Amino acid sequence: MTDWIDIGALDDIAPRGARVVKTGHGCVAVFRTGTDEVFALDNACPHKQGPLAEGIVHGKTVTCPLHNWVFSLETGEAQGADEGRVTTYPARIESGRILLEASFLKSRGARAA
Amino acid sequence: MTQKLVIIGAGMASGRAMEHLFEADRDAYDVTLFNAEPRGNYNRIMLSPVLSGDKTYDEIITHDDDWYAQNNVTCRFGEHVTSIDRDRKVVVGEKGEVPYDKLLIATGSAPFIIPVPGKDLPGVVAYRDLEDTNAMVEAAARGGKAVVIGGGLLGLEAAAGLALRGMDVTVVHLMGHLMERQLDEAAGYLLRRALEDKGIDVRCQASTAAIVGDGQVEGVLLQDDEMIPADLVVMAVGIRPETRLANDAGIEVERGITVSDQMATSDPDILAMGECVEHRGQLFGLVAPLYDQAKIVAKTLLGEEAAFVPKEVATKLKVTGCDLFSAGDFAEGEGRENVVFRDPARGVYKRLVIEGDRLIGAVFYGDTSDSSWFFGLIKGGEDISDMRDTLIFGPAFQGGEPLDPMAAVAALPDDAEICGCNGVSKGDIVAAINAGAGDLGAIRATTKASASCGTCTGLVEQVLGATLGDDFVIPAAKSVCGCTDLTHEDLRRLIKSRELKSQAAVWQELGWSTPDGCHVCRPAVNYYLLADWPLDYQDDPQSRFINERKHANIQKDGTYSVVPRMWGGMTTPDELRALADAAEKYDVPTVHVTGGQRIDLLGVRGEDLPDIWADLNAAGMVSGHAYAKGLRTVKTCVGKDHCRFGTQDSTGLGVQLEKHLWGSWTPHKVKLAVSGCPRNCAEATCKDIGVVCVDSGYQLGVAGAAGMDVKETERLADLTTEEEVIEYATAFMQLYRENAKYLDRPYKWVAKVGLDWVKEQVEDKATRKALCARFELSQSVYRTDPWAEHVAERADSYTPIANLMLEAAE
Ligand code: SRM
Ligand SMILES: Cc1cc2nc3c(=O)[nH]c(=O)nc-3n(C[C@H](O)[C@H](O)[C@H](O)COP(=O)(O)OP(=O)(O)OC[C@H]3O[C@@H](n4cnc5c(N)ncnc54)[C@H](O)[C@@H]3O)c2cc1C
Ligand code: SF4
Ligand code: FES
């Protein structure tokens, strides 16, 4: 069975914006697209650790604020010429609340250990 | 033995024929080339970009003196051929005869001039050659009104070009809708609306009775007695094949010179090609089939077997913002079915005409991205019964969402036509790329793709991108980004002229290929919208780079820097104390005196930003916009209050300027300085706007730079009062805000538009006052401290949405 954790209201994040969730092992960026979908990814760009939550969100992608790499919010894959992948975590919306899958915390905990 | 070939007409057709001939055998013929125009072969299609100012004549020359010399072509340019003597096999030119073994007639066509009174008045021009184009450019420079008679391809390109050059244009068209030969009524209507949005007045079902004027055109009189004033009349009602020489020589001529499949006339030693011929009852008016004829002509001349087969042609209009495409047969008829798709909000219209299992015609307006695919189906005569239901949605119908243009190109089959003018398929281009052609120039040289009308340049680049992957960067100078084919200049113009006041309006009306742009176009669009519609459009933080969204410069470790304003480089013990306190309170690791006369606190944590700002606000300090494409610093020297050389109050003027201009957004950053005398201690002569005080007043310079380029300012004006300096500087700033391309510093923009133009605007009192008034209107929204606003309204967004440290630890 999957456990989901309520991390906040959808309205707490601007459309085409992001906020971070602090965890024991660095931050997770939670994105809201222009069409109100949510995605959760590690908040560190594989290039030079740029904070992805501060990037520009367009379609279902985000552009890293430091050197403009573009990542798919769905798969975490770098788009176009660049190569790299950001870990993604299951996220969904229920009655206006954003839920992240609890097990992601465990996986992050495991890496921390 | 080398034979003598004489060619009459150095046009688009004969130029291509010579290329094929020389490629196959450079020594087979001694060529003499006559041309009535005083020049050689050029790309006639591109006269429209020359008219609109996008290109110069030099850029559209296809064959230059070197080329003729290398291929031993004897050029007789500017010389009419007056007759052909078939018995003696000589061509008679104005300056003498030339004997031929073979003769090629490629005289093109002549514009049709409707036989109304006044047609010969000065100020009436046709649209066929460079002389006509130059005449229009000159007329446009004098401003005033133009009437274009004829609402076909040529007329509309002329109208759009003249409108772009600032003329008041009316199109007078005889038929019920524009371009009736290529478009159905619905597409004609959308086209009309688009032209009207560009300020072009369109009169359909209007018949010209006379052109009136006394020694010079003054107007066009319509059949219904309406008089349309005009300083220029462009007659673009059609063309007729130029057959006079052939007629006189007794060669068979119907509407055009009759030619066989081998392009031979009734005289086997005389060939003809281009718009002057008629082949199996058909005339030609677009270049694509002429290029096919050129291949046949070369083969026939070399005694090889070949036969010309006319192919389907497609039409595109080279008017920015009017995307239309038509191909095949779209007349209503028995056994024909229509599939229509309309999206009025987007101004999109698509219509397919199906007969049996085949697609026989297509008309698209507003969204022509899939046109090559449909054109392929029409030409190939493919059985479309399997995809009939979803055909109208194009090759990407599965997703429903518009396909990424790169993916759309990647999905095209190899035989899909990319360049209609030259009949170049995707496969040809890919083959050329695989053989080493790595950029647009090389593709043009090897395949001719995009070398004629140029509308397929974007597609060719996409094929390059799809084939070469990382090795090919689609040139950014052209379009804003991959989401659109529009350039920044077009985008700015369209946002103003079509009164687009929201991002959604831009995406829809201008046909963006992505749902909400990308990190390249969105900041630009956001800027253009807020600059042009300060009251209607609300700035969108999500379309700004992080620095401008968070009003602080992001550092490489994800922390931020905080730079408050120090007006004119002035500070006080209180401010310094507040800065020192803040630096200690928030553990600021680095305090630096910037090159812009103020203090930078570097290494502030993102979460602390609202708090540190609140503290600085409490001490009376506001954001220094050190992160902004907007007003940055105004540096000053100490001026006459202290300095023995100071002539004016440079510090005071600097403070006034900064207080007047601060908070405004600009295409790129803007820095100012005011020096108290020509010793120039504030380095005012390398700023975007720089003032040097002198005894008699103020020297206002603009367009300096001292970053990646170093450039001295240019003098905009010599002024006598501080009020004047502020007024002129403000007007310059607003002119820059309204006209420059996003991310062009003032010096780059001024280099493009010319200091003279800038001066004209700013010196004209009414224009200057209007610029200042528009700046003030915008400042009524933007002259505020974003830090205070964020502290009050969005402090939350600087903190994590949730803290799961505890749970994780469990
Ligand atoms: C802080 C400062 C250096 C310093 O410690 O002195 C600085 C720091 C930066 N400059 Fe600068 N420039 C600073 C004065 C200058 C000057 C000198 C001046 O203004 O008199 C110049 C040359 C003058 C000019 O602009 O023409 C200058 C030319 C640039 C350029 C090149 C601009 C150009 O058009 O060529 C860039 C790059 C850009 O803007 O695209 C740049 C970009 C930057 C950025 C924003 C790089 C970035 O994108 O992160 C740096 C941010 C540092 C930070 O995190 O705070 N900085 N920079 C100076 C801030 C002045 C201020 O008080 O606001
Ligand atoms: C403004 C404009 C825009 C166009 N846009 C497009 C487009 O987007 N797409 C498209 O496919 N087509 C377009 N066309 C049509 C295209 O330019 C013509 O189809 C093509 O140029 C015809 O080529 P040609 O060689 O037959 O004739 P031309 O290119 O007209 O060349 C004929 C030459 O013969 C010379 N000549 C004539 N009589 C004599 C004589 N007695 N002695 C010596 N020389 C003589 C003429 O001076 C002329 O230079 C456009 C045309 C114009 C004018
Ligand atoms: S010169 Fe400017 S942009 Fe370059 S490192 Fe120094 S502060 Fe950064
Ligand atoms: S750190 Fe993300 S692109 Fe460089």
Q: Which of B121-135, B502-516, B717-731 has the lowest mean pLDDT?
A: B502-516
Same domain, B616 and B701: no
Question: Rounded to whole angstroms, how far apart are CA atoms B464 and B476?
Answer: 14
Structure tokens at B566: 């120090």
Q: Looking at the complex, does the CB of residue B805 fall below 8 Å from at least one CB of chain A?
A: yes
Asked if residue B540 belongs to a domain, the reply is: yes
User: What's the whole-number mean pLDDT along residues B637-664?
Assistant: 95
User: What pLDDT is recorded for position B335?
Assistant: 77
Residue given tokens 């465990």 in the structure block: A106
Same domain, B780 and B654: yes
The alpha carbon torsion through A19, A22, A26, A30 (nearest 10 deg) reads: -30
pTM of the model as a whole = 0.53
User: What pLDDT is recorded for position B397?
Assistant: 59
How many domains does chain B divide into?
5
Q: Treating both helix axes as pointing N-terminal to C-terminal, what angle do B153-164 and B130-141 enclose, rounded to 10 degrees?
A: 40
Query: In this structure, which amino acid lies at residue B570?
Result: M
Q: Which of B690, B630, B626, B695 shows the shortest CA–CA distance to B654?
A: B690
- The dihedral sign for the CA sequence B195, B199, B200, B201: positive
What digits encode the pLDDT tens for the residues B33-42?
999 999 999 9
Same domain, B774 and B653: yes
Half-sphere exposure of A22 (CA within 13 A, CB side): 11
User: What's the whole-number mean pLDDT along residues B157-163?
Assistant: 95
Asked if residue B414 belongs to a domain, the reply is: no
How many domains does chain A divide into?
1
DSSP B107: -
How many Cβ atoms sit within 10 Å of the Cβ of residue B810?
A: 7
Q: Cβ of B801 and A7 within 8 Å?
A: yes
Distance from residue B526's CA to the centre of ligand 3 (Å): 26
How many Cβ atoms sit within 10 Å of the Cβ of residue B516?
A: 22
Cβ of residue B563 lying under 6 Å from some atom of ligand 1 = yes
What digits encode the pLDDT tens for the residues B329-381?
877 677 788 777 767 567 788 888 889 899 999 988 888 878 888 888 898 88
Same domain, B574 and B540: no
User: What pLDDT is recorded for position B471?
Assistant: 73
CATH of the domain at B178: 3.50.50.60
| 3-state percent helix, strand, coil for chain B, nearest multiple of 5 | 40, 25, 40
Q: How far is B685 from chain A (nearest CA, A)?
A: 32
Same domain, B286 and B231: no
Q: What are phi and psi of B483, to 5 degrees?
A: -80, -10
User: What pLDDT is recorded for position B423?
Assistant: 79
Q: Are strands B102-105 and B109-111 parallel, antiparallel or unpaired?
A: unpaired
For residues A1-21, b (16+ Cβ closer than 10 Å) or e, as one string? eeebbebbebebbbebbbbbb
Cβ of residue A53 lying under 6 Å from some atom of ligand 4 = no
Q: Cβ of B545 and A22 within 8 Å?
A: no
Same domain, B75 and B17: yes
**Strands across the sheet containing A56-58:** A56-58, A61-63, A70-72
Asked if residue B158 belongs to a domain, the reply is: yes
What digits encode the pLDDT tens for the residues B463-507?
888 888 777 776 655 689 888 888 888 788 888 877 888 887 788
Name the strand (E) or helix (H) holding B765: helix B765-782
CATH of the domain at A54: 2.102.10.10
> Which member of A15, A20, A108 has the closest CB to residue B800?
A20
Question: Rounded to whole angstroms, how far apart are CA atoms B287 and B393?
Answer: 29
Same domain, B601 and B707: no
Beta strand residue intervals within B590-725, DSSP E: 590-593, 599-604, 631-636, 670-675, 689-694, 697-702, 705-706, 710-711, 714-719
Chain B residues with beta carbon closer than 8 angstroms to that of A66: 554, 556
Instruction: Report the nearest-CA residue for atom 3 of ligand 4.
Output: A67
Structure tokens at B243: 């057959």
Q: Which of A43, A17, A46, A50 shows the shortest CA–CA distance to A31?
A: A17
Q: Which of B252, B244, B3 shows the shortest CA–CA distance to B103?
A: B3
**CA B140 to chain CA centroid, nearest Å:** 19
Q: Cβ of B803 and A21 within 8 Å?
A: yes
Distance from residue B547's CA to the centre of ligand 1 (Å): 13
Residue A53: give the domain boundaries. Answer: 4-112
* B292 has pLDDT over 50: yes
Q: What are phi and psi of B486, to 5 degrees?
A: -75, 145
Chain B residues with beta carbon closer than 8 angstroms to that of A78: none
Same domain, B17 and B95: yes
User: Roughly how many angstroms between the first and final C-alpha of chain B, as a whole number?
Assistant: 97
What digits encode the pLDDT tens for the residues A27-42?
999 999 987 889 999 9
HEC states along A15-80?
Answer: CCEEEEEEECCEEEEEEECCCCCEEEEECCCCCCCCCHHHCEEECCEEECCCCCCEEECCCCEECC
How many Cβ atoms sit within 10 Å of the Cβ of residue B472?
A: 18
Instruction: Give the Å distances, CA to CA, from B461 to B437, B450, B485, B584.
Output: 12, 10, 11, 55
Structure tokens at B176: 């019920």
Distance from residue B560's CA to the centre of ligand 3 (Å): 14
Cβ of residue B592 lying under 6 Å from some atom of ligand 1 = yes
Half-sphere exposure of B399 (CA within 13 A, CB side): 9
The more confidently predicted of residues A84 and B185 is: A84
The more confidently predicted of residues B540 and B752 is: B540
Same domain, B10 and B91: yes
The more confidently predicted of residues B261 and B422 is: B261
Cβ of residue A67 lying under 6 Å from some atom of ligand 4 = yes
Q: What percent of chain B has pLDDT over 90?
A: 66
The more confidently predicted of residues B290 and B492 is: B290
Residue given tokens 């606000």 in the structure block: B617
What digits encode the pLDDT tens for the residues B421-467?
677 888 999 999 988 888 888 888 888 887 665 567 778 888 888 88
Q: Which of B339, B113, B152 shows the shortest CA–CA distance to B240?
A: B113
Structure tokens at B1: 């033995």
Whether the CB-CB separation of B490 and B502 falls below 8 Å is answered with no
Distance from residue B708's CA to the centre of ligand 1 (Å): 10
Same domain, B565 and B514: no
What digits encode the pLDDT tens for the residues B728-772?
999 999 999 999 999 999 999 998 888 998 999 999 999 999 999
What digits encode the pLDDT tens for the residues B543-564?
999 999 999 999 988 899 999 9
**CA B118 to chain CA centroid, nearest Å:** 36
Whether the CB-CB separation of B301 and B28 falls below 8 Å is answered with yes
What digits encode the pLDDT tens for the residues B589-609?
999 999 999 999 999 999 999
Question: Rounded to whole angstroms, how far apart are CA atoms B33 and B40?
Answer: 9
The more confidently predicted of residues B600 and B508 is: B600
- For ligand 2, what atom is nearest to the CA of residue B48? 1
CATH of the domain at B555: 3.90.480.10
Structure tokens at B511: 């046909």
Radius of gyration of chain A, Cα coordinates, nearest whole angstrom: 13
* B84 has pLDDT over 70: yes
Same domain, B703 and B767: yes
Distance from residue A72's CA to the centre of ligand 4 (Å): 14
Question: Rounded to whole angstroms, how far apart are CA atoms B538 and B546?
Answer: 18
Whether the CB-CB separation of B159 and B148 falls below 8 Å is answered with yes
Mutate which of B462, B527, B542, B803 to test chain A, going by most A C-beta atoms within 10 A?
B542
Residue B592: give the domain boundaries. Answer: 547-623
Q: Cβ of B542 and A14 within 8 Å?
A: yes
Radius of gyration of chain B, Cα coordinates, nearest whole angstrom: 32
Q: Are strands B710-711 and B705-706 parallel, antiparallel or unpaired?
A: antiparallel
Mutate which of A10, A22, A103, A107 to test chain B, going by most B C-beta atoms within 10 A?
A22
CB within 8 Å of B295: residues ≥ 6 apart: B20, B306
Name the strand (E) or helix (H) holding B314: strand B314-316
- The dihedral sign for the CA sequence B642, B647, B648, B654: negative
Instruction: Give the Å distances, CA to CA, from B607 to A20, A98, B371, B602, B646.
Output: 11, 22, 51, 14, 45
Same domain, B777 and B676: yes
> Which member of B515, B523, B800 has the closest CB to residue A21?
B800
Beta bridge partners of residue B717, listed in sequence order: B700
* B97 has pLDDT over 60: yes
Confidence band for B212, pLDDT divided at 50, 70 and 90: very high
The per-residue pLDDT of chain B, averaged, comes to 90
Question: Rounded to whole angstroms, how far apart are CA atoms B449 and B567?
Answer: 57
User: What pLDDT is recorded for position A112?
Assistant: 37
Q: Which of B243, B158, B126, B151 shows the shortest CA–CA distance to B206?
A: B151
Asked if residue B337 belongs to a domain, the reply is: no
What digits encode the pLDDT tens for the residues B387-429?
877 787 777 653 444 446 667 677 778 887 787 767 788 899 9
What digits encode the pLDDT tens for the residues B621-642?
999 999 999 999 999 999 888 9
User: What pLDDT is recorded for position B636?
Assistant: 97
Q: Cβ of A48 and B556 within 8 Å?
A: yes
CATH of the domain at B687: 3.30.413.10
The per-residue pLDDT of chain A, averaged, comes to 87
User: What pLDDT is recorded for position B398?
Assistant: 36
DSSP B42: B
The alpha carbon torsion through B136, B138, B141, B144 (nearest 10 deg) reads: -50
